[in-house]
Structure formats: structure tokens, C-alpha cells
Amino acid sequence: MKIIDFHNHVYPEKIARKATDAVGAFYDMPAMERTGTVEELFSSHENAGIDTCVIHAVATNPHQVEVVNDFVAKVAYENKGKVYAFGSLHLDYENKIEEIDRCISMGLKGIKLHPDTQLLNVDDDKLLEAYDYMQGKIPLLLHAGDYRYDYSHPRRIQRICRMFPDLLVIGAHFGGWSVYDEGVKYLLGEENCMVDTSSTSGFTTPEHFAKLIHTFGADRMLFGTDFPMWDPKLELQRFMAVEMSDDDREKVLYSNAAKILGIK
């Protein structure tokens, strides 16, 4: 069975350790075993039996937007068919519409925001024009949920879904990392919202993980590992342990993502 890992982060080799240490500090985690280089991404996925992946850029200030987008675009271009990429925007970046067009022209497949590390409310008025422009063009993938902050609370994501019905919104971490039941409460009924499985199996019980999968359903779900935070092989093993039909498993692991990415 072909597998697409829809949720990964990679960094230039010279800053990879610094970047992953910063992420670890944000989540009060010990130092990560993996540093998030492209080489590590490929070796981890080969070890897991994962064929294809999506990498995400995250700009923590407006000056980084074009730099990080150029980086992930280059990685995807140099690894066509194996790597696809989502670009980033920032609340205070002025040329959002132009940058969306530039991302599309570089072959990027969507926009990813991490409201908690970017310190922005995901439904801030400054972002709404960009969301409107993205309707029918490219999807919006959002880090969703954090019990410590309100930036990416699922109710804010629900507001975006309802304001922009033609925008595909993907709520990472079942739409509510660490507040998973809130993700279900606010996003289950939103037809233009999908979720991914990343950063969940290690934070809840196997029973709750399976319940989240079956509650949202295979048609609205994407498999993701959140590399380099977690080991893709272990994340895949935990997903494969959940009982479901072969057709549903194939949707989550491959065909849903392939449709979004335009893979024939």
C-alpha cells in the first residue's frame, strides 16, 4: 500500500538543531533525537516504508516568509514526486496575496500556519483576505489546539470554515492537539474541514486514538507523523493497529492526500 505522510517539518542543515531545540523548548520536551534535516527525513521514511511526504514551512516573523517558502520549494523541486510542500504566511507580512501566487507558481500545494508559535489568532482580521483569496485555489493547513493558548482553538478554526466555505481547511492533530474533544465538538460538522492524525497517538490512549479516527471518518482524514518530533515508523505502527477496512485505511494513508496534491 502506498503511503503519504502529510505532516513533516524540515530545516536547512546549518540551523536544524537550533530549530528543533526551539520547538522542543516551546513544548517543554527534551532534546529531539532527530534534527529535521532532509537527509534524516528520507532515512526515517525509508525505515518506515513511507513513499511520499508533505513538508511544511513556518515563518515565525514576517521577514522569514519568503526565505522559508523558497527553502521548502527547493526541496520539493529537487525531489519531485517524493516531496510536496506547503508554504507559510505571517500575520504581519504585507504582501500575502502576492506571496500566495508566488507559492503556487513555485509548485507549493498549500499554506501552513502554526498560530501558537507564530503568536497569531488564526481568525485574525489581517488574515481573512488571504483566506478568501485561497478559496478554490489551495488548501489551508493549521496547527490546531493547545491547552495553554487560545490562538488556534478549534472554535476559531470553525469560524474560518464557515466564513470561507470553498476553502479546504485541514486541522492538524485531529483539529485540537491536547484538546481533542474540542476538535470533535467544533469541527466534526464542518464539511470543508479535514483533519490529520499527527501528534496524537503518543498523547492519548490507543482506545481514544481509535475513537478519534472513527469519529471523524476516513473520508476526512490524512495520515501525518509530525517528523522530526516523532518517529514515523512508530506513528505508522500505531495507526495500523487501529481496526478499519482496507478501503478506509487506503484513503487515510494515500488517496485523500493524493487528491489534494494532484497525484494521478
Q: Which residues on neighbouring strands pair with residue 53, listed in sequence order?
A: 5, 83
Categorize the per-residue pLDDT at 116 as very low, low, confident or very high, splitting at 50, 70 and 90. confident
Phi, psi of 214 (to 5 degrees): -75, -30
pLDDT at 194: 99
Report the CATH number that the domain containing residue 119 is assigned in CATH. Answer: 3.20.20.140
Eight-state DSSP code of residue 179: -
Distance in angstroms (rounded) separating the CA atoms of residues 247 and 242? 14
Give 80's contacts (C-beta < 8 A, 6+ positions apart). none
Q: What is the pLDDT of residues 50-106, one digit of tens each?
A: 999 999 988 989 999 999 999 999 999 999 999 999 999 999 999 999 999 999 999
Q: What is the pLDDT of residues 230-243, one digit of tens each?
A: 899 999 999 999 99
Q: How many other β-carbons are positioned within 10 Å of the β-carbon of residue 181?
A: 14
CB burial readout 211-245, b (16+ within 10 A) else e: bbbeebebebbbbbbbbbbbbbbebbebbeebebe
Query: Residue 127 belongs to what domain range?
Result: 4-261
Distance in angstroms (rounded) separating the CA atoms of residues 200 and 170? 15
What's the number of domains the chain is made of?
Answer: 1
User: What is the rounded average pLDDT for all residues in the chain?
Assistant: 93
DSSP states of 136-174: TT--EEE----TT-STT-HHHHHHHHHH-TTS-EEETGG
Q: What is the pLDDT of residues 170-218, one digit of tens each?
A: 999 999 988 999 999 999 999 999 999 998 998 899 999 999 999 999 9
Single-letter residue type at 74 = K
Is residue 68 a contact partner of residue 111, using CB atoms and an 8 Å limit? Answer: no
Distance in angstroms (rounded) separating the CA atoms of residues 243 and 264? 28
Q: What is the pTM of this model?
A: 0.94
Q: Reading across the β-sheet that carries 221-222, which strands appear in turn?
A: 4-9, 52-56, 83-88, 110-113, 140-142, 169-171, 193-196, 221-222
Is residue 195 a contact partner of residue 174, using CB atoms and an 8 Å limit? Answer: yes
Distance in angstroms (rounded) separating the CA atoms of residues 134 and 166? 9
